[in-house]
Amino acid sequence: MPNRVDKVIRIVATSPASWSEAARNAVSEASKTIHGLATARLIDTDIVVRDSTTLYRVKLELQFQLDRNRTGASGERIQVRRYLIVANQTLANASLQELVQAKLDESAAEFHVLVPQTDPTAAKFDISGVISPNMSARALDRHEVVVAEAEQRLVSFRRTFEGLGPNLTTEIAAGDPVAAIRRIMERSSFDEIIISTLPPGSSRWLKLDLPTRIERAFNLPLTTLVQTKTD
């Protein structure tokens, strides 16, 4: 396509089986969250030994479309708007779905959904200040539960907008939401960020002033949608 603008990034992937499997896994995972992946070029291969385990490691250079130029169903050239949605417990709510549909009614659009999760490796302390193995185990068990719940909400969201096909990508990320967004920005770009969160008093994100932090960090238009868990 004339005037197309692409971005190139490098990623590293490993496999206990082979370099080819490592490369296939890397491309498969990258395709889940990178829109317009065009090429994957092998840069280097090596072997890493960790705790007597051999891992085949590959370094790949990925090229993907960064601009907003797309080819429509009839072959016409169109411009799309790209939205980053940050949501968790309110992801499956009707208000967010209505907002997404409104954006689709305005123009051709692509969406990437980020579901931030608390880092399960964060240390848990008992009242004496000593880390309790039982507490750590319970924390990991709880993390598995909340991730499973998030995955179910993503399934519901994708089912609602299944017509978007590859124009809707999703991911679950551990740790600070701003850090997770920054990692996404390294491999893509957006016209607007949408945060869907619980009301004041219930929302941890509002207590941490996440909307203001995101505005300051990324200088993009921001829509903050406050809604109940079971909207």
Looking at the chain, the whole-number percentage of residues with pLDDT higher than 90 is: 55
What secondary structure, in 3-state letters, does 145-185 show?
A: HHHHHHHHHHHHHHHHCHHHHHHEEEEEEECCHHHHHHHHH
pLDDT tens sequence across 52-80:
899 999 999 999 877 788 887 788 888 89
Domains and CATH numbers, the chain: 6-65 (3.30.1660.10), 79-226 (3.40.50.620)
More confidently predicted of 139 and 155: 155
Judge whether residue 231 has pLDDT over 60: no
Quickly count: other Cβ atoms within 10 Å of residue 17's Cβ: 11
Q: What is the pLDDT of residue 71?
A: 80
- pTM of this structure: 0.75
Q: What is the mean pLDDT of the chain?
A: 85
Beta bridge partners of 80: none
Q: State residue 143's pLDDT score.
A: 63
CB neighbours of residue 91 within 10 Å: 21
Q: Write down the pLDDT at residue 54.
A: 93
- pLDDT at residue 125, rounded to an integer: 40
3-state secondary structure of 33: helix
Q: What is the pLDDT of residue 127?
A: 42
